[in-house]
Amino acid sequence: MTLKNVLLVTETYRPEINGVATTLGKWVDGMLALGIRVTVIRPKQHSADKAIDSRTFDRESDKLVFGLPIPGYADLKFGLVSQKWMKHQLQRIKPCAIYIATEGPLGYAALKAAKQLKIGAVTGFHTNFQSYSKFYNFGFLEPLIMKYMRWFHNTSASTLVPTQQQKQMLEHKGFTNTEVVSRGIDGELFSPTKRNQQLRDQWGASENEPVFLYVGRIAAEKNLELLADTYESISEKYPKAKFVLVGDGPLKPSLAARYPALIFAGVKRGEELAQHYASGDIFLFPSQTDTFGNVVTEAMASGCCICAFDDAAAKEHLDNRQSAFLADLGDDRQFIKNAIAAYEKTDLRKNLSMSSVVLAQRLNWQKIVQQFCKTLEKSQSTQYGKAHANRSNLRFKPESSSR
Q: Does the pLDDT at position 160 exceed 70? A: yes
Name the β-bridge partners of 213.
Answer: 244, 283
Return the pLDDT at 44: 84
User: Any residues with CB less than 8 A from the CB of 130 and at least 6 apart, and which?
Assistant: 142, 145, 146, 149
CB 13 within 8 A of CB 25: yes
Return the pLDDT at 394: 46
Q: Read off the pLDDT of residues 356-383 as tens digits, 9 standing for 90 and up.
A: 999 999 999 999 999 999 999 988 764 3
CB 356 within 8 A of CB 282: no
Return the pLDDT at 162: 95
CA distance 187 to 297: 10
Omega before 15 within 30 of 0, i.e. cis: yes
Confidence of residue 53 (pLDDT cuts 50, 70, 90): low
Segment 304-329 shows an average pLDDT of 97
Given the DSSP bridges, would you call strands 73-79 and 97-100 parallel, antiparallel or unpaired? unpaired
Return the pLDDT at 202: 97
Instruction: Report yes or no on whether pTM surpasses 0.75.
Output: yes
CB 131 within 8 A of CB 221: yes
Segment 283-309 shows an average pLDDT of 97
> What sign does the dihedral 255-261-265-271 (CA atoms) show?
negative
Q: Read off the pLDDT of residues 221-271 as tens digits, 9 standing for 90 and up.
A: 999 999 999 999 999 999 999 999 999 999 999 999 999 999 999 999 999
Number of Cβ within a 10 Å radius of residue 95 = 24
Instruction: Catalogue all structural domains in the chain, each as residue range(s) with its CATH number.
Output: 5-184+365-389 (3.40.50.2000), 192-360 (3.40.50.2000)
Task: Identify the weakest region by mean pLDDT among 57-66, 141-150, 344-353, 364-373.
Answer: 57-66
Given the DSSP bridges, would you call strands 73-79 and 67-70 parallel, antiparallel or unpaired? antiparallel
Task: Identify the weakest region by mean pLDDT among 204-208, 212-216, 339-343.
Answer: 204-208
CA distance 205 to 221: 29
3-state SS string over 140-192?
A: HHHHHHHHHHHHHHHCCCEEEECCHHHHHHHHHCCCCCEEECCCCCCCCCCCH
Segment 377-391 shows an average pLDDT of 55
CA distance 172 to 174: 6
Name the β-bridge partners of 320.
Answer: 324
CB 76 within 8 A of CB 106: no
Average pLDDT of the chain to the nearest whole number: 88
3-state SS string over the chain?
A: CCCCEEEEECCCCCCCCCHHHHHHHHHHHHHHHCCCEEEEEEECCCCCCCCCCHHHHCCEEEEEECEEEECCEEEEEEECCCHHHHHHHHHHHCCCEEEECCCCHHHHHHHHHHHHCCCCCEEECCCCHHHHHHHHCCHHHHHHHHHHHHHHHHCCCEEEECCHHHHHHHHHCCCCCEEECCCCCCCCCCCHHHCCHHHHHHHCCCCCCCEEEEECCCCHHHCHHHHHHHHHHHHHHCCCCEEEEECCCCCHHHHHHHCCCCEEEECCCHHHHHHHHHHCCEEEECCCCCCCCHHHHHHHHCCCEEEEECCHHHHHHCCECCCEEEECCCCHHHHHHHHHHHHHCHHHHHHHHHHHHHHHCCCCHHHHHHHHHHHHHHHCCHHHHHHHHCCCCCCCCCCCCCC
211 burial class (0-12, 13-18, 19+ CB within 10 angstroms)? buried
Nearest to 300 by CA among 395, 191, 381: 191
Return the pLDDT at 2: 80
Residue 209 Cα distances to 153, 200, 213, 279, 283, angstroms: 47, 9, 13, 11, 14
